Amino acid sequence: MRNRFAVIISIFCGFFALTLSVVSAEPLPRPLSDKDAETYRQIFALQEDGDIKAAAKLIKTLDSDLLMGHVLSQKYLHPTAWRSSFKELSSWLADYNDHPAASRIKWLSDKRKPKKARAAKAPKPGYLNGVGLSRPQSYRATIPESWKGRSAPRRTASIAKEIRRAIRRGHPSGALEMINNKSNLRYLTATEEAHLRGEIAHAYFIFGVDDKAVRTARQAIAKDTEEAFMGYWAGGLAAWRAERYELAGSFFRALADLKAAPDVLRAGASFWAHRASMLSGAPAEATKYLSIAAQYPETFYGVLAIKASGQRYEIDFTLPEISTEFRAWLTAQKGGQRALALLQVGNWTRAARELRYLVEEMPPVFKRDLISFATQHHMPGLAFRLADLHQRESGERIYAALYPMLSDSTDYVVDEALVLAIIRKESGFYPLARSRARAAGLMQLMPATAAFISQDRRYRRSHRHKLHNPVLNLALGQKYIGHLMTEPHIKGDLVRMLAAYNGGPGNLNKWLRKLDHRNDPFLFIESIPARETRNYVKGVISYLFIYRNQLGQPMPSLLNLVSGQAPDGRLASSR
């Protein structure tokens, strides 16, 4: 049941013309009897809670052993309820090495293998790893531009790496010294030097040294007027913050006029050029640049431009038809049978992992069928991953899969579109996602955050694995969003909430105190020191607009954000 008490988001009104047509799903084959399906459902639930003995009793009542590989892998990999032996793990791999848990079982078996024992059977190759990738909301040039015809391309790459490391560590002046070193310059082309000087200029802007940012930006542009993209961008932002609006406008207009500029920078420069032209009293010029920004609807500034210009943008959410040939092929595969049984049980995560093993051996003609199948049957992580790969290979965008939904039974306490946008950015809809910082699950919750918001310290240690449960992760993640929205320094401000969700409330407080953003939300976003957080805020807001339109939800006006004011925190309407 979708409970849409929508927190926040004074977001843009209906500026997308929507085509939404989900292919009606035919009834799936049911490999299990109703009795066995219910029994497996109970077994998985009991084992997840660590009640191995109760699950063992139910296993004896099963008529079909179709999912026993999954049952045993869940048991053997349980972090607290069972310590599996090498014999158990080796036996499992002998029988089930074509199952998606095979790699983890193999890793654990190698750790527990006695010295003289024979290694367990290797997993079947061909599993499709990874998640769907979001379109970048920033730009960084590839250096060296080419490895061909260069005397020392490795030296060029090393110089760029050292300069970028100095920038990352907060030493733009040190980076500038490196690039001014003649022994380094001889390994860089003029274009490569322009790219790096532009990045140094942007670092000066981030650290609040606007005069040096403008000066370094000009040096970058002097090296290559056609490709000093970051030089124009950094110079414009620094001049704007210094209230040199005419100069800022000249930087932004120059970048916006470069048709070869990366989408994200051309859209951003065009939007800021629009703002500068409005300030200087040139509405015709402002309209021109707003139109350029609106040509990039999957970027943050492109979405803003579409709204500000009153344009309508057609998105087709129709899914490709699923062929009877694909259904027959899927049913004929052992992994397909298990996937269908797992869908019957309601375990979409395991079903999606089974299908990842079939991608490599699947006839290419069925790629679009599988994308639709995954989208229809509540496997958003797989749908997003496949649609992203398909887009990169063919250029075709299957929007319903690129912006997938959760199941209809999902309980939403916070605005549904916002939750989906955050999940898309955080985990790519992969419930088992885990970051190097130990953030886990769909909404990438840190164990400490989960413990704080739930008032249950066990999430720091013994219950940490439960954060991969989609239902629990969604509940805690939404509760955390609600908590952030009521914080005194956020007060319903969408931009600040997203910055806190990604960068941490402590960092947000520090940024609000230290950054000179002139109460301009766009300048605040661009001034955030953490590149990941800057991109995160832009990405989530972009996805949010697409999701609200896909859901057919009305959008309360966010003209205040378009005009450069912070969101006011009014409740969003629900569908």
Averaged pLDDT of the chain: 91
| Residue of 29, 61, 63, 31 lying closest to 46 (CA atoms) | 61
Question: DSSP letter string over 305-354?
Answer: HHHHHT--EEEE-PPPPPPHHHHHHHHHSHHHHHHHHHHHHT-HHHHHHH
CA distance 271 to 146: 32
Specify the pLDDT at position 162.
Answer: 98
CA distance 327 to 343: 14
Percent of the chain with pLDDT over 70: 92
Using the predicted structure, report yes or no on whether residue 23 has a pLDDT greater than 80.
no
Report field, pTM of the whole predicted structure over 0.75: yes
| Contacting residues for 286 by C-beta, under 8 A, at least 6 apart | 273, 274, 275, 277, 278
Using the predicted structure, report yes or no on whether residue 503 has a pLDDT greater than 50.
yes
Query: For 354-391, what is each residue's pLDDT tens digit?
Result: 999 999 999 999 999 999 999 999 999 999 999 999 99
Using the predicted structure, report yes or no on whether residue 301 has a pLDDT greater than 90.
yes
Mean pLDDT, range 4-27, rounded to an integer: 41
Query: For 207-224, what is each residue's pLDDT tens digit?
Result: 999 999 999 999 999 999
Query: For 315-352, what is each residue's pLDDT tens digit?
Result: 899 999 999 999 999 999 999 999 999 999 999 999 99
Mean pLDDT, range 227-250, rounded to an integer: 98
Using the predicted structure, report yes or no on whether residue 569 has a pLDDT greater than 60.
no
Specify the pLDDT at position 309.
Answer: 86
Using the predicted structure, report yes or no on whether residue 26 has a pLDDT greater than 90.
no
Using the predicted structure, report yes or no on whether residue 559 has a pLDDT greater than 90.
no
CA distance 121 to 269: 56
Query: For 81-118, what is each residue's pLDDT tens digit?
Result: 999 999 999 999 999 999 999 999 999 999 999 999 99
Residue type, 71: V
Specify the pLDDT at position 555.
Answer: 58
